[in-house]
Amino acid sequence: MDIKNLGRGRPILIAFAVTAVIALFAITASMMGVRTAQAAYSGPTSAQSVARDEVNPVNAEPTVGVAFVPEGGVDLFRGPDRDPYFRIHEGLALPYLHRYDNWLLVTTTCNDTAWINVEDVGVQDQATAQSTGTGFEVSSATIVLDPGHGDRDWGGVGPSGLSEKSVNLDIADRVRTLMESSQDVDWDTGTISSGTAVSAFGSVVLTRDVIGPNGGDFEAGLGYRATLGTAAGADVFVSIHNNTVPRIDSDIPGSEVYYSAGVDDSDRLAGLIYEELLRSFAAFDADWTGGELLGARARLDPDTGEDYYGLLRRATMPAVIVEGVYISEPDEEALLDDPNFRQAYAEAVYRGTVRFLSTADSGASVNDPEYFHYDSGTVSGNGCQLPAQPE
Ligand SMILES: [Zn+2]
């Protein structure tokens, strides 16, 4: 997964982003003549709904959701009723956690914030999470899929030059295609076919979408990715990756699914996706490689006891990072280059997610969280370029 881009160093950025949001809001509120006492509002909880209505006097529209940038792009503003300073690329899903009249405060792909006018975009309100298990309405499910890496961050690269960022994107796009139509699933064999047994998912949002900049090959910060999950009100957040640097030969694929130790039930989601990965990959042949531990895992920062991976630490819903196979190994790189294998990977994520949402199945090979002593150093988001809409 290219650990350098997933580990520590990000809390500073998040703290900065939150501070910036609050500061920006305070500045904006004072500009608009709002009492400063109200400028402290910083979240969408129901306890704050009175404050929200006061800050947002013209209407009481939901203040949290996802804005979809339409064809032609959309203008970014430094504040409501200011001059636009940048036109951001079409095809992006931008989460917003605040609304002021017709203005949405979005998080950009570079983790910073900007205002956009609600009339310029398509808006999807934050969904209300459902309880998983029997009776769960898949037709109302909201899923955020996160193809790992992008642009200058290639992720793992195979010996023949296949990059994780591109295969992750294709796999996520295939999961989306499965989820956006109703399907029949033969749960004995895992075979998926067109049918009506599992309804189409209510909403599937990608952090990197093929309709976005450069065919989906753009840089997306961890703060942006995690915020998109939260703002969408996702029932499930699935980050798609492939692995590098195995340590031992293995009779079975060395698949790993990392779960958020901080969010209940993430381990069950991880175990189910792991089980389905093994079922999908059993149809393929390779000299498999793996690490010392296989299955569903969680890594904790030994200093804080929190999730080591920034994406999982920030998750507010069941969330996993799927590490399908080892792109750094010739055999497994060749499999990832095969569309049939990428489809099998996607089908495993689909089946695991459906089982997580609509059954009480427990999933296989769930390991306890472990402390992780890898020092990835400080990572900065320096140099992230916002994708501009072409003229
Ligand atoms: Zn990766």
Looking at residue 205, its pLDDT comes to: 98
CA of 3 to the centre of ligand 1 (A): 7
CA of 4 to the centre of ligand 1 (A): 10
CA of 242 to the centre of ligand 1 (A): 5
Task: Give the position of tokens 């703290």.
Answer: 15
Lowest mean pLDDT among 127-136, 143-152, 228-237, 374-383: 374-383
Contact yes or no for 384/85 (Cβ under 8 A)? no
CA of 282 to the centre of ligand 1 (A): 22
CA of 213 to the centre of ligand 1 (A): 20
Task: Give the position of tokens 């000299």.
Answer: 287
CA of 132 to the centre of ligand 1 (A): 28
Comparing CA positions, the residue from 10, 3, 2, 9 lying closest to residue 225 is 10
Rounded to the nearest integer, the mean pLDDT of the chain is 87
CA of 219 to the centre of ligand 1 (A): 13
What's the alpha-carbon Rg for the chain, to the nearest Å?
21
CA of 351 to the centre of ligand 1 (A): 22
Instruction: Give the ranges where the chain is alpha helix by DSSP (H).
Output: 10-31, 49-55, 164-179, 222-232, 266-281, 310-313, 330-336, 339-358
Looking at residue 60, its pLDDT comes to: 57
Instruction: State pLDDT tens for residues 239-258.
Output: 999 999 877 899 999 999 99
Kindly state the tokens that stand for 251.
């009779």
Q: Does 3 have pLDDT greater than 90?
A: no
CA of 190 to the centre of ligand 1 (A): 26
CA of 385 to the centre of ligand 1 (A): 20
CA of 218 to the centre of ligand 1 (A): 15
CA of 199 to the centre of ligand 1 (A): 30
* pLDDT-derived band at 31, boundaries 50, 70, 90: very low
CA of 54 to the centre of ligand 1 (A): 43
CA of 198 to the centre of ligand 1 (A): 30
* pLDDT-derived band at 383, boundaries 50, 70, 90: confident
Beta bridge partners of 203: 142
Instruction: State pLDDT tens for residues 63-122.
Output: 999 999 999 999 999 999 899 999 999 999 999 999 999 999 999 999 999 999 999 999
CA of 386 to the centre of ligand 1 (A): 21
CA of 75 to the centre of ligand 1 (A): 31
Instruction: State pLDDT tens for residues 296-346.
Output: 999 999 999 999 999 999 999 999 999 999 999 999 999 999 999 999 999
**Cα separations in angstroms, 53 against 39, 119, 127, 184:** 12, 20, 20, 45
Residue 313 half-sphere exposure, CB side, CA atoms within 13 Å? 19
CA of 172 to the centre of ligand 1 (A): 13
CA of 1 to the centre of ligand 1 (A): 2
Kindly state the tokens that stand for 31.
């500009």
CA of 104 to the centre of ligand 1 (A): 31
CA of 257 to the centre of ligand 1 (A): 12
How big is the CA angle at 181 (ends 176 and 182), to the nearest 5 degrees?
A: 130
Kindly state the tokens that stand for 271.
């175990």
CA of 322 to the centre of ligand 1 (A): 9
Q: Does 382 have pLDDT greater than 80?
A: no
Domains within the chain, CATH numbers bracketed: 3-125 (2.30.30.40), 138-371 (3.40.630.40)
CA of 310 to the centre of ligand 1 (A): 13
CA of 305 to the centre of ligand 1 (A): 23
CA of 150 to the centre of ligand 1 (A): 10
Contacts of 376 (CB under 8 A, 6+ apart): 3, 4, 6, 7, 8, 9
